[in-house]
Amino acid sequence: MRLTVAQALVRFLVAQWTERDGEQQRLIAGCLGIFGHGNVAGIGEALLSAGDDLRYYQARNEQAMVHVAAGFARMSDRLATMACTTSIGPGATNLVTGAALATVNRLPVLLLPGDVFATRVANPVLQELEDPRSYDISVNDALRPVSRYWDRIYRPEQLPAAMTAAMRVLTDPADTGAVTLALPQDVQAEAYDWPEEMFEKRVWHIPRAVPEPAALERAAAAVRSARRPLVVAGGGVVYSRATEALRGFVEATGVPVAETQAGKGALHFDHPQAVGAVGVTGTTAANTLARHADVVIGIGTRYSDFTTASRTLFADPDVRFVNLNVARPDAVKQDGIALVADAREGLVALTAALRGWSVDESLREETARLATEWDAAVTAAYGLDHGPLPAQSEVIGAVNEVSGPRDVVVCAAGSMPGDLHKLWRTRDPKGYHVEYGYSCMGYEIAGGLGAKLAAPDREVFVLVGDGSYLMMPSELVTAVAEGVKLVVVLVDNQGFASIGALSESVGSGGFGTRYRYRDATTGRLDGDPLPVDLAANASSLGADVLRPTTVGELREALAAAVSSPRTTVVHVQTDPSVPAPDSGAWWDVPVAEVSESSATRQARAVYEEARKRRLP
């Protein structure tokens, strides 16, 4: 079959499917793109020819379209994703941040940037990085360190092997992330005779690895020896759809469950064994149990510094770790007993191995008491009745109360993710979608669009601060153009409130974190607030806009947004001075060792004292 390289690539993608537990779906659900001279005549023509076999979505920002693909992949439990195509030059380099986010979060995305001429006959072409060290380098090489697989297609003959390798990584639960295929613009348009079998339907079967018997025996023995065990449920529980297996495990054993950001929703928030978020942004219930745990059972978690409170949280000097993870590098962290397996299969096997064993009744009672105390704190934070501007916790409470059990909340950066992790009452495994591996400002609207495309039957609430909104509101236009309805709650506190609070805590006084005019007297950005109207900006991008000023008006606005078929931005100003309940955990942010500022010197003394609690 004679096709161009681009046409063959698109036809190949259409034929790729995934299967797990007997359920099949297309691996590549669509292609987002912005066209330039490096891809319009190649990939652009091929997508035009493909029609709805591989639907094209017109994006507005290259970084954002990778976020859309990542949001889609996360909502699809990594069984499906989207492709993204750009021209060479700024379009390609704009992919780097999105690719890093996908790889950090272990989310499959396929990147198809154009590249300079393979033949070099027109070099240097427009936007080419003319590197005198080697003409083999282009800006696409910047994507190498943030991709799990990277290749450049110099000749048509290379395409079949490259595509097979790309699909292997996209469908590998332990080794997935961004996959980049750099496509020289002359090669994209080159014709070649391809074998028909290249375009036959191929199903990639997603394995459920079972634990090795000896490792299972070691893990079960460690758990049986525990007096105060604790489960730390990570994203692997959700991606593996192991939530029912987790529920069966904890109901049989009584082990309490704390959740990471990616693992939130692994248990229904009011399950007897659920103690909520763990770590820096955790609950007092989870963190109290973590400090005294003698065996920590990590399931599908990579133990980020927020989860471990910079290695100060699990404070029992004899604490041991049992790590159930599909990825061996994560399974061996914390010097743990490595149980390398699929989360669901591992939990089923571990439950069977522990048959007849249960925690002491006193731990069940303590778990229930701590969870009840935290739930009361959440209720209080939801109903502060703070004024004249509401507190952020009240905004979260209003959204939580208006949303349905299967609805999805999306967030990524600022103070909101930490407050959501503590306060959001999750009622569905896919109801909590906070990107906190990379905590990338600008992810929210684009990621929410991806989540909605993957789950059109769910209401998607995007919570975004003003700092993140200003980074990347562009995909509001894409949502409006596609008729994809989002409810965007735009929380305006006139600056970078999260880093502002952190700056205050390390003695820097909130420097450079507020949206202010430059003061003519001080020369600093500490003058009057800027007259920025973010609601007007959202309206100019095609969204409907509501402007509540109180919590009561906010609930009414949210209800109206849910009833509307159109993307609606609910703009609400908040008071950033009102914090959410404290987790009691520590995060290692080094403070200047010497400074003329007394506030910084005091912060350094506090830092030195806290650092002593770090485990070896």
Token reading at 154: 């110099």
Within a 10 A sphere around the Cβ of 110, how many other Cβ atoms? 28
Average pLDDT in the 324-337 region? 97
Task: Decide if 114 contacts 39 (C-beta within 8 A).
Answer: yes
Q: What is the pLDDT averaged over residues 566-593?
A: 89
pLDDT for res 616: 65
Residue labelled with tokens 């700092």: 467
CA nearest to 339, candidates 352, 321, 356, 357: 321
Ranges of beta strands (E only) in 21-68 are 23-26, 28-33, 56-58
> What would the pLDDT profile of 275-318 be if each residue is shown by its tens digit?
999 999 999 999 999 999 999 999 999 999 999 999 999 999 99
pLDDT of residue 248: 98
What are the CA-CA distances from residue 507 to residues 229, 501, 599, 606 (Å)?
38, 10, 5, 11
Residue 47: pLDDT over 70: yes
pLDDT on residue 284: 97
How far apart are the C-alpha atoms of 447 and 614, rounded to whole Å?
35
User: Cis omega before residue 213 (within 30°)?
Assistant: no
* HSE value, Cβ hemisphere, 13 Å, CA-based, for 546: 22
pTM of the model: 0.95
pLDDT of residue 593 exceeding 90, the answer is no
For residue 330, which amino acid is it? D
- Kind and range of the H or E element at 96? helix 95-104
Beta bridge partners of 608: none
pLDDT value at residue 571: 98
User: Model confidence over 524-563: pLDDT tens digits?
Assistant: 888 888 889 999 999 999 999 999 999 999 999 999 999 9
Give the whole-angstrom CA distance, residue 20 versus residue 186: 38
Average pLDDT (106-120) is 96
Beta-carbon contacts of 98 under 8 Å, excluding residues fewer than 6 positions away, are 62, 63, 64, 65, 66, 67, 69, 70, 84, 109, 178
Q: Find the range with the poorest average confidence among 413-422, 464-473, 495-504, 586-595.
A: 495-504
Beta pairing class for 202-205 and 229-233? unpaired
Separation in Å, CA 307 to CA 281, 290, 430, 587: 8, 10, 20, 10
Task: Give me the percent of the chain exceeding a pLDDT of 70.
Answer: 100
Q: What is the fold, at CATH topology level, of the domain defined by 383-494+530-573?
A: Rossmann fold (3.40.50)
| The predicted structure's pLDDT at residue 355 | 97
Q: Which fold has domain 213-373?
A: Rossmann fold (3.40.50)
pLDDT computed for residue 42 by the predictor: 96
Q: H or E stretch including 545?
A: strand 544-546
Identity at 144, one-letter amino acid code: R
pLDDT digits (tens, 9 = 90+) for 490-509: 999 877 777 777 777 777 77
User: Taking 90 as the threshold, does the pLDDT of residue 320 lie above it?
Assistant: yes
Round the average pLDDT of the chain to a whole number and report it.
95
Residue 163 is encoded by which pair of tokens? 């595509």
- CATH 3.40.50.970 domain span(s) along the chain: 2-205, 383-494+530-573
Q: Which CATH superfamily is domain 2-205 in?
A: Thiamin diphosphate (ThDP)-binding fold, Pyr/PP domains (3.40.50.970)
> Predicted confidence band at 522 (pLDDT cuts at 50, 70, 90)?
confident
DSSP-derived letter for residue 95 is: H
pLDDT at 589: 85
Beta strands across the sheet bearing 202-205: 23-26, 16-20, 202-205
Give the 3-state secondary structure of 220-255: HHHHHCCCCEEEEECHHHHHCCCHHHHHHHHHHHCC
pLDDT of 191 above 70? yes
